[in-house]
Structure 1
Amino acid sequence: MIRISARMNENSDTRRPVVAIIDDDADLRQTLAALMEENGLGSVALADGASFFALGPAPEVDLALIDLKLTSENGLALALRIRDRFGLPIVMLTGRGDEMDKIIGLETGVDDYLLKPFNPRELIARIRAVLRRSGYPALDQADRSTSAIVRFGAMRLDQTRRELLGPDGSEIPLTNAEYRLLDYLLRNPDRVIPRTELLHELGNDLSQYMDRTIDVLILRLRRKIETVPSKPIHLQTRRGQGYVFVPRSPA
């Protein structure tokens, strides 16, 4: 059964975005649709990809929220079909043990993913962040008024908008993994954090292959937050122990 929430005036900057929820769990669909409504988002609740494509050649939705493990089809393949055909931003819901699917999804165009069971507030924050990047001025303005800012050196991390701002106030783009890593480091300043702890925080399975993920993320993050990445001031290595984040710049 399709549930479509009416949009506000299409010509108004204050119209609310509509999220297509594609999940074959009827109870979860209903819960997610109610969650969207409670947070000022419209919703279209669908059981499968066929129901989504039945909406027509120009479905009135602004983002697709898709369960990776749909019973009747591959959720990732469906996400990429929707992305290629309609250009919609995609957020995936995944289960534990789906690490390779997450990596493939993020590398091939999925905008974000969230592990089930998830925190409803985090899901809404992720969806709003993706929608902001897609261009919703009213949503952007509302989030600016309630932003939580954490400063380090000459930079700022907006934890509400999930944005990194440089010394001149311009945004420095972060991938989801880079943001999560930086956010965790800022929440645990001046403490040596073992690599295994960072892997656990990012939801990886600690296998030898996935262990390399931290090395890559650290290098990428340093290029974005350090003046001289090879001589980091903030994101420092403690050889044989892990990493420590120093928010203060040296005098």
Structure 2
Amino acid sequence: MQADRAEPLIAIVDDDANVRDTLSALMRDSGFDAVCCPDIPAFLALGDPPQVDLALIDLRLRGESGLTLAIHIRERYEIPIVMLTGVGDEIDKIIGLETGADDYMIKPFNPRELVARIRAVLRRYGHGTTRPSAAPDQEIAFGTMRLDVQSRRLLDGQGEEIPLTNAEYRLLEYFAQNPNRIIPRPELLEKLGSDMQRYVDRTIDVLILRLRRKIEAVPSKPVHLQTRRAQGYIFQLSPV
């Protein structure tokens, strides 16, 4: 959050004026500030780096792709990204995950859920209230890491947070709460729930690869999150 502002500033990038107005009002009613951008050049005109705390981007911008902007942001800045996409845009969702988007919402969305998702993403980037420490029974330890299920954080051996997107956290939490058993892919899609039910199998592959880069010493030789060919995945709290 910028030091001279009390409220996080959300950049709304959408080519539909009605959507921009609706989202802007929602942000302000929810305790945020908002700046509206009808296209990518308007966002780039905000500065280098842009003085915003989060970018809310529609994937289907007229004449251009929101993914282009997401890639631009991820390569240059530490600005969280939440993407809005229409029903059935599975390919865009997959590509969006690979570019490092922090979360997704599928249109039409529940306004309260969108606000909750934005707040959760901002917290992961250090905005908002101080996170409470978890009680021992609210943590799941594996290797040198701890999953704090109260504050939804992954901590390394020094207690430092390893940033996870919402989808990455939900997947890791489910694995950690169901260790040492093979979980088939359909179950993962079902248990992740919400908009994840509309994702295709390829999305699970993307999330698994991203998680391994964050929790495994050698991602190509995982000791915690392992594949069982033609069966699914198994999560081991302690290497065998």
- 1:223 counterpart residue number: 216
Residue in structure 1 matching 2:174, options 158, 178, 184? 184
- Aligned equivalents of 1:121, 1:77: Cα separation in 2: 27
- 1:151 counterpart residue number: 139
**Aligned Cα root-mean-square deviation (Å):** 4.4
Is 1:163 matched with 2:156?
Answer: no
- Aligned equivalents of 1:74, 1:237: Cα separation in 2: 34
Structure 2: any 5+ residue segments left out of the alignment? Answer: none
- 1:198 counterpart residue number: 188
Structure 1: any 5+ residue segments left out of the alignment? Answer: 1-6
Matched-pair contact (CA < 8 Å) for 2:58–2:66:
yes
What does the per-residue CA deviation read over 1:153-199, in whole Å, with 9 as the maximum and x for residues that have no partner?
46643456542124653323435543221133356678764212214
Identity of aligned residues (%): 52
TM-score normalized by the length of structure 2:
0.66
Give the letter for the 2:106 counterpart.
Answer: K
Matched-pair contact (CA < 8 Å) for 2:140–2:148:
no
- 1:33 counterpart residue number: 24
How many pairs are equivalent?
228
Listed as ranges, the matches of 1:11-30 within 5 Å are: 15-30=6-21
Matched-pair contact (CA < 8 Å) for 1:157–1:164:
yes
Matched-pair contact (CA < 8 Å) for 1:114–1:123:
no
Deviation at 1:218, TM superposition (A): 6.9
Give the letter for the 1:47 counterpart.
Answer: P
- Aligned equivalents of 1:59, 1:221: Cα separation in 2: 28
- Aligned equivalents of 1:98, 1:144: Cα separation in 2: 34
Matched-pair contact (CA < 8 Å) for 2:12–2:35:
yes
Deviation at 1:151, TM superposition (A): 2.0
- 1:3 counterpart residue number: none
- 2:115 counterpart residue number: 124
Matched-pair contact (CA < 8 Å) for 2:103–2:167:
no
Deviation at 1:82, TM superposition (A): 5.2
